[in-house]
C-alpha cells in the first residue's frame, strides 16, 4: 500500500484528515512539540494515531523566538471573539513560519520512507487567518518540492493534499462523523488546561462547527 505522511496536531481537523488519508494510503503520523502552551494536544494526537493504528513520530523543535501567545504564556490569548470576527486579521496565536517548518520536516520524512504524499488539515473557511493555511501558500510550496528535492527533479514530486481546505467546520465534522473519526479524543483549546476555556478562537470555532452540524460534541467542549 502506498504511504502518506499526515501532519497530526490532535485537533478535529487533522484527525479528520487522517481518516481521509487512511482510505487510500498507509499513514505515518508526524506530531510536533514546538513549545506550544496547549501541550495537551500532543497526548491527544498520540491517542488518535493509536486509535487509527498508525505509526506516529513526535518531533521536538526549538523555535528561535516566542513572539506569539501560542508559545509565550506571558501573552494573553485572544478571547471572547465571535466567529464573525475570527480570521479578519492575523491573531497573536500566529507562530512565524510554522507550516513552512512542519511541511519541510514532513517532506524530509516522506522522501526518506518513499511516501508519495503529505496530508495537512489546513482550512481557509472557518480559520484564524494564518497566511500559511491558504491555497496560494501550498501552491508555492509545491513548486519548492518540484525544484528542491530529489523526487521533484526526478519528475515524481511528493504531493501536498489539503482535502478540507475549502470546507466549513460543520462540513468537516459531518465528513468525520461518516468516517467514524473519534472526536472524543481530539483537543482544540489553545489554553490546554484541564478543561477547554470556551473562549479562545479554537474553542469558539469548534463549538460553532458542531452547532451548525447539528451534532453534539463528544469531547469535553
pLDDT at residue number 117: 98
pLDDT at residue number 64: 84
Count CB-CB contacts under 10 A for residue 130.
Answer: 19
- pLDDT range class, residue 82, cuts 50, 70, 90: low
pLDDT at residue number 87: 64
**Angle 97-100-102 (CA atoms, 0-180°, nearest 5)?**
105
Count the domains in the chain.
1
Which structural domain range is residue 40 located in?
3-213
Task: Tell me, yes or no, whether 89 lies in a domain.
Answer: yes
Nearest-Å Rg of the Cα atoms of the chain is 17
More confident residue, 28 or 131: 28
CA 17/CA 160 separation, integer angstroms: 12
Task: Tell me, yes or no, whether 220 lies in a domain.
Answer: no
Strands (E), 14-128: 26-33, 55-60, 117-119
Q: In which element (H, E) is residue 104 found?
A: helix 98-113
CA 17/CA 175 separation, integer angstroms: 10
Q: Residue 28 is placed in which grid cell? A: 505515518
Predicted structure pTM score: 0.94
Q: In which element (H, E) is residue 141 found?
A: helix 135-148
CATH of the domain at 45: 3.40.50.620
Task: Tell me, yes or no, whether 219 lies in a domain.
Answer: no
Amino acid at each position: 500500500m502506498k504511504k502518506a505522511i499526515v501532519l497530526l496536531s490532535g485537533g478535529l481537523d487533522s484527525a479528520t484528515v487522517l481518516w481521509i488519508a487512511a482510505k487510500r494510503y498507509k499513514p505515518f503520523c508526524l506530531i510536533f512539540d514546538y513549545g506550544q502552551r496547549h501541550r495537551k494536544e500532543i497526548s491527544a494526537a498520540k491517542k488518535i494515531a493509536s486509535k487509527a493504528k498508525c505509526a506516529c513520530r513526535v518531533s521536538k523543535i526549538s523555535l528561535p523566538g516566542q513572539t506569539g501567545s501560542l508559545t509565550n504564556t506571558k501573552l494573553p490569548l485572544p478571547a471572547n471573539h465571535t466567529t464573525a470576527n475570527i480570521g479578519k486579521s492575523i491573531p497573536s496565536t500566529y507562530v512565524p513560519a510554522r507550516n513552512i517548518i512542519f511541511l519541510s520536516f514532513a517532506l524530509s520524512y516522506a522522501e526518506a520512507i518513499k511516501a508519495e504524499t503529505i496530508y495537512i488539515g489546513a482550512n481557509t473557511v472557518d480559520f484564524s487567518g494564518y497566511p500559511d493555511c491558504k491555497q496560494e501558500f501550498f501552491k508555492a510550496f509545491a513548486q519548492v518540492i518540484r525544484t528542491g528535492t530529489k523526487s521533484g527533479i526526478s519528475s515524481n514530486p511528493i504531493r501536498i493534499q489539503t482535502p478540507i481546505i475549502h470546507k466549513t467546520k460543520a462540513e468537516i465534522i459531518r465528513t468525520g462523523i461518516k468516517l467514524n473519526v473519534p472526536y472524543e479524543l481530539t483537543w482544540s483549546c489553545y489554553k490546554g488546561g484541564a478543561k477547554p476555556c470556551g473562549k479562545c478562537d479554537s474553542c469558539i470555532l469548534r463549538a460553532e462547527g458542531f452547532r451548525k452540524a447539528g451534532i453534539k460534541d463528544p469531547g469535553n467542549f
